[in-house]
Amino acid sequence: MGLGLARLLLAQGATVTIAGRSADRLAAAAQDLARESLRTAQADITREDDVRRLVERTGALDHVVVTAVDATDAYHPIDGFPLAHARAALDVKLLGPWLVAKHAAPHVAPDGSITFTSGIAAYRPGPGASVLAAANGALGALARALAVELAPIRVNVVSPGWVDTPVWDVLAGPAKAERLAAMADRLPVGRIGTPEDIAEAFVAVQRNRFMTGAVLHVDGGHRLV
């Protein structure tokens, strides 16, 4: 989803910095996007020094979007959920965005914004999703608190539903196509989301200067079925 957003913003003439833990994935993204106005930075959202250095190097910011997620070990039945895995998921999904807001806010323009990425697990959780459901739900509360504390900077959340991204290669493996097709049949819109759908939602949040402390649901009606 972050890559889709970067592609859309670059097409609209913005200067974009993308950050991530993997140097290989950043290099692949840079080659894919291939724009002079793109910058990349290697940083781990769970490490405060990394986040601090990232925003200091980037300088003045108009908008910040956090899309980080690590679903590798984030789904377990609660009776067998290792505490270390739960803490790791919370570090990436909840405390990471908190760290980004903490260090980025002094660099964000007064009419700018910070946007977090929640998810359908907060509203339609399945078995084994207790920690991700809690983290996604907490992001809404975090945005509301920071919308007051960091005003006039706007702080919001985009909450996607099922989106066809590489994370499903981890979650479903060979059953990915079957699971996505089954969900598409359930959704009122009749299809799974695309990264482009979510990118457009992020841009809409950035541009709406009367929107703060809000959660924008982009889930194809998943909360209704």
Tell me how crowded residue 36 is: count the other CB atoms within 10 A of its CB: 7
3-state secondary structure of 38: strand
pLDDT at 108: 98
> Which strand (E) or helix (H) includes residue 196?
helix 195-207
Query: Which residue spans within 52-97 are E strands per DSSP?
Result: 61-65
Helices 2-11 and 195-207: angle between axes, nearest 10 degrees: 60
State residue 171's pLDDT score: 82
Q: Return the domain boundaries, the chain.
A: 62-224
Structure confidence at residue 33 (pLDDT): 94
Task: Specify the pLDDT at position 166.
Answer: 85
**pLDDT computed for residue 216 by the predictor:** 98
Tens-digit pLDDT profile for the chain (225 aa)?
A: 999 999 999 999 999 999 999 999 999 999 999 999 999 999 999 999 999 999 999 999 999 999 998 877 888 999 999 999 999 999 999 999 999 999 999 999 999 999 999 999 999 999 999 999 999 999 999 999 999 999 999 999 999 999 999 888 888 889 999 999 999 999 999 999 999 999 999 999 999 999 999 999 999 999 999
Q: What is the DSSP string of 103-151?
A: HHGGGEEEEEEEEEE--GGGTS--TT-HHHHHHHHHHHHHHHHHHHHST
CA distance 155 to 75: 28
pTM for this structure? Answer: 0.95
Q: In the Cβ-directed half-sphere of 142, how many Cα atoms lie within 13 Å?
A: 23
pLDDT at 211: 98
62-224 CATH: 3.40.50.720
Neighbour tally for 24: CB within 10 Å: 8
Answer for the pair 214, 157: CB distance below 8 angstroms, yes or no. yes
C-alpha–C-alpha distance, residues 113 and 214, integer Å = 12
